[in-house]
Amino acid sequence: MPFGARETLEAHEILTEKKNAIEQLSFYAAQAQAPELRSILENQLGSMKSGYNQMVGYTHDYSAAQAGVPTYQPPQLSPEHIRYGLRHPADQQVQLGGGSAALFSDGQIASYALTCHKNGAKNQMNAALECADPNVRQMMIDGSLSCANQAYELFAYMNRQGSYQIPTMHDHTAKTYLHLYHPVQQEGGPIHY
């Protein structure tokens, strides 16, 4: 069963990205000082390795399609768990290399890993849109969802630490802006909220 040219190129790009992400997060997990952050990264690494191995197996001999990798599950949060608003956000300055022995702070590690997962989610979903093989397509979609969930887990960690703050606007402004939209009329009468 051959792959199309486009999905072959997309799979190659995604496998390269997954390999690099695994190497990156392994490095970050080894440097993380906070036990919670290290645990998050180690759990995410296990999921990332499984997804990578499944795609490698399928692209080698189509064997991994039946053995689906479970999608990474995000933390169960309710809106009350999220801290909204700015509380003296720290200035952001570019940190230039300090030599090969330089260590990253836990804040840097969490931010770098979050960016890695956000990009992985976008890139795998874009790749899925170009795949003809239904198994490769599903692996890309599942990988995208796993990355999105891993990003959300890191966001929640960073939000609790106060390093990922969420700007807000006046409640009246938000409601005015979002209440411009109204439900589509369904057959059988209007929808009431």
CATH number of 163's domain: 1.20.1260.10
Whether 187 maps to a domain, the answer reads no
Task: Spell out the residues 6+ positions from residue 166 whose beta carbon is closer than 8 angstroms to its own.
Answer: 82, 83, 84, 85, 159
For 99-193, strand residue ranges (E) read none
Whether 80 maps to a domain, the answer reads no
Taking a C-beta distance cutoff of 8 angstroms, is the pair 28, 154 a contact? no
pTM above threshold 0.75: yes
More confident residue, 2 or 176: 176
Whether 69 maps to a domain, the answer reads yes
Whether 10 maps to a domain, the answer reads yes
Number of domains forming the structure of the chain: 1
Domain ranges, residue 166: 5-74+104-178
* Pair of tokens at residue 16: 């390269």
* Pair of tokens at residue 106: 């836990």
pLDDT value at residue 192: 67
Whether 192 maps to a domain, the answer reads no
Whether 97 maps to a domain, the answer reads no
- Asked whether residue 155 carries a pLDDT value surpassing 70, the answer given is yes
- Asked whether residue 74 carries a pLDDT value surpassing 90, the answer given is no
Whether 94 maps to a domain, the answer reads no
Q: Flag the least confident range among 29-43, 88-102, 125-139, 159-173.
A: 88-102
- The whole-chain average pLDDT of the chain stands at 89
- For 11-74, give the DSSP string: HHHHHHHHHHHHHHHHHHHHH--SHHHHHHHHHHHHHHHHHHHHHHHHHHHSTTSSSPPPPPPP
Q: Which run of H or of E encompasses 9?
A: helix 5-31
Whether 186 maps to a domain, the answer reads no
